Amino acid sequence: MIEVHGYAIVSDDDRIADAQGRMPDALRSEADWTYFQQELDRSAATVLGRLGHEAHPNPRSRLRVVVSSSVRDLERRPDGWWWNPAGVSWSEAGRTVLPSGGRVAVPGGRRVFDLFLGIGYTAFHLTRAEGVSVPGGTALFSACDNGVTAETVLAGNGLRPGGRRILDPVGPVSLTVWQR
């Protein structure tokens, strides 16, 4: 069995990046980064978009699945598996990449977050940089561009919130893990 865990830090207006697609400093949190790295260590693979893959080195050589239309279906490359959801289903790709199952971490971007809404998250780790706004930025989910909150999107996809945990009281930065 493969568990799918989403991970994102968002602003109060549910943004994950600025208008240029970059993560603003206001969304960077050492406490969140430490939590995220620990969660990646617990994961058998990480699924992310091509831009995220290219922008973030992989110094720990974690197994990556890169979502990209540049491949026909599923292709093994030196830097990981490259997967085109239009060419092969997630269930087939997942069985190939992780034949023994395990946890998959999904850190985005937005198209990947939206894709896995349809596939189904086991859990979504929603970190919020409270008091931060990113006008004109990239929304966590496409529906957030229409005024729907991230919490409403997650609830509408069968996830329920756990307790709110403060990762950094200075920010403040809080974490809520939503689970199926």
In the predicted structure, residue 139 carries a pLDDT above the cut 90: yes
Return the closest-CA partner of residue 76 out of 104, 46, 97, 90. Answer: 97
Q: What is the mean pLDDT of residues 148-166?
A: 98
Residue 23 DSSP code: P
In the predicted structure, residue 7 carries a pLDDT above the cut 90: yes
The DSSP bridge partners found for residue 67 are: 49, 83
Residue 143 DSSP code: G
Encode pLDDT of 11-62 as tens digits: 999 999 999 999 999 999 999 999 999 999 999 999 999 888 988 888 889 9
Cβ atoms of residues 67 and 111 within 8 Å: yes
pLDDT at 62: 95
pLDDT at 52: 85
The Cα 117–Cα 77 span in angstroms is 26
pTM of the model: 0.96
pLDDT at 166: 98
The Cα 178–Cα 5 span in angstroms is 9
pLDDT at 94: 97
pLDDT at 72: 97
Contacts with 166 (C-beta within 8 Å, 6 or more apart), sequence order: 172, 173, 174, 175
Encode pLDDT of 58-87 as tens digits: 888 999 999 999 999 999 999 999 999 999
Assigned fold of 2-179: Dihydrofolate Reductase, subunit A (3.40.430)
